Amino acid sequence: MANLYGTPEWEKAYREMVGQRLSVVSPPYIMGSPEWVATYEKLIRESGEYKEAAKGWEGKVVIRVTANPALGLDEDSFQLLDLWHGECRFALLVPRAVGEQADYILSGELERWEAVISGALDVTKAMMQGKIKLKGDLATIVRYVRASTLLTEIASRIPTKQLSQLSSEEREQFREELRALKAEFGF
C-alpha cells in the first residue's frame, strides 16, 4: 500500500529510497528517476547564480512529462520543485493529484524534455512555440526569465541517460521500477 503523500512517513520513506538508490546507481541517471531529481535538487541548492536570479520568485513548479509507453513511461511523470526566494526547498517526484495543484506546470512530451535537457531546445522558446505548455502566471515567468533559464542550465549539468537511449531491456527494468515506486509512493 502506498504511503500518503505529505505525511512524515511518506517524506521519510521517500528520502530513504532516494538515499538507497543513490548509493547503488551510478551516473548517468535516467532523466526523471528519483536519483536524477535528487541530483537536480542538490545542484539548484548549490547554485549561487540561481539564488541571486530567483531571490524574489516563489512558488511550486512542476515539470510534467507526458506518458510515452513505447519509451518506458506508461503514465505522466510529475517532478515538483518548491522554489522560494532563490532557495529550492525540495525537488521530488509526486503523485498526479499533487502535481496538478502546483503554481506553475510546464507540460511537454518526453521527447521535448529530452531536447531541453540536452540543450537542443530552449524551454522559453518551446513555451512560446507551444511545444511546452505553461499553466500559471506567464508574467512571473517572464519577470524571472533568468532564473527559469538557469533551472534549465542546471538540469543540463546532470549526467543524464535519456529514456530514448535505453535498450529494450533497460526500458523494461525502468518501467518495473516505476511501477514499484507508484505502489509505494503513489507516483
Is the entire prediction scored with pTM above 0.85?
A: yes
Residue 135 has what pLDDT?
96
pLDDT exceeds cutoff 90 at 169: yes
> Given this model, what pLDDT does residue 1 score?
54
Per-residue pLDDT, 2: 73
Identify the weakest region by mean pLDDT among 53-57, 123-127, 129-133, 151-155.
123-127
Pick one of 1.20.1260.10, 3.30.2320.20, 3.40.50.970, 3.30.1050.10 as the CATH number of 8-185: 3.30.1050.10
Is pLDDT at 127 greater than 60 in this prediction?
A: yes
pLDDT over 80 at 41, yes or no: yes
| Residue with grid cell 511501477, as numbered in its chain | 179
Nearest to 58 by CA among 141, 129, 131: 141
What cell was used for 112?
521535448
What's the CA gap between 182 and 66, in Å, rounded?
16
